[in-house]
Structure formats: structure tokens, C-alpha cells
Amino acid sequence: MVTLGHLLALHVTPANVDDRAAVGRLAEAIQEATEESVTLAYVDQGYTDEAPAQAAKQQDIALQVVKLPEAKRGFVLLPRRWVVERSFAWATRCRRLVKDYERDASTLAGLHVVAFACFMLKQAAILATGS
């Protein structure tokens, strides 16, 4: 899960596990990392089921589903969705993360942590030098 492009928590699941099944574990990791300061999470339409909402609610996080407008015509910018998509684009700049080569989920998670740490350090360097 990312906010403003910064990695808060990460949970890698196998391809045969539904993402919605991991919402509770991810919400718990987010609250642990942020000292329970997260109260709202934006999710896509894949999380409209009641189970993910209940799992997040147990951690005091409300899920807000970002939906496409009914009368969609052409490109529609969805609120807050761009933050996640931009973060995925940043991750694909790292050659090892373009494709899933790893056999072990912890290796893949570690590579994502390293990649996002590098992105954050780059942003910190830009802010420190004022350029």
C-alpha cells in the first residue's frame, strides 16, 4: 500500500490467492507501520465485497471504492488512483521488478522495499539540495 508514492506496507501473495483475502493482514501491517494513523484506504472495484471491508474495519480502516462513472466517455481520471498507478510505474523502472522472476515471495517483497527506499532517498536528496 502506498501513500503519496511512499511504501507503507507490503504483502506479496501467490497468484492462486485472491487479493481480497489479504486485506486484513495488509491493514494490520499498515496500522503497525503508521502507529494506527490510517483511517481511509482507496480501493478499486475488485474490493466491493463485504469481506474486505470487514477485514479493514477490524483495523479501524474504512475502504472507499473508487468507481468509474456510469456514463463513461473516453478517459476518466479516477480520484487517488493515479497515486497507485504512478508508484507501479516507478517500480517498473527497476529491471528486476518489471517481470516476476522470483520464486520466493519474501525476495520479491524485499526487492520492492529496496526499490521504494531508493525512490524515497532520491526525493530526499532533491529536497535537501533544493533543485
Structural domain of residue 89, as residue ranges?
A: 2-129
pLDDT in tens, 77-130: 776 777 777 777 888 888 888 877 788 888 888 888 898 888 888 888 888 988
Q: Give the position of cell 484506504.
A: 41
Looking at residue 47, what is its pLDDT? 86
Contact 43, 52 (CB under 8 A): yes
Residue 81 has φ and ψ, to the nearest 5°, of: -65, -30
Neighbours of 120 (CB within 10 A): 13
3 φ, ψ to 5°?
A: -140, 130
pLDDT per residue as tens digits for the range 15-34: 888 888 889 999 999 999 88
Domain count, the chain: 1
Residue pair 111/102 in contact by the 8 Å Cβ criterion: yes
Residue 107 maps to which CATH number?
Answer: 3.30.420
Which pLDDT band holds residue 72 (cuts at 50, 70, 90)? low
Amino acid type, 92: T
Residue 58's alpha-carbon distances to 41, 91, 105, 112, in angstroms, are 13, 30, 26, 27
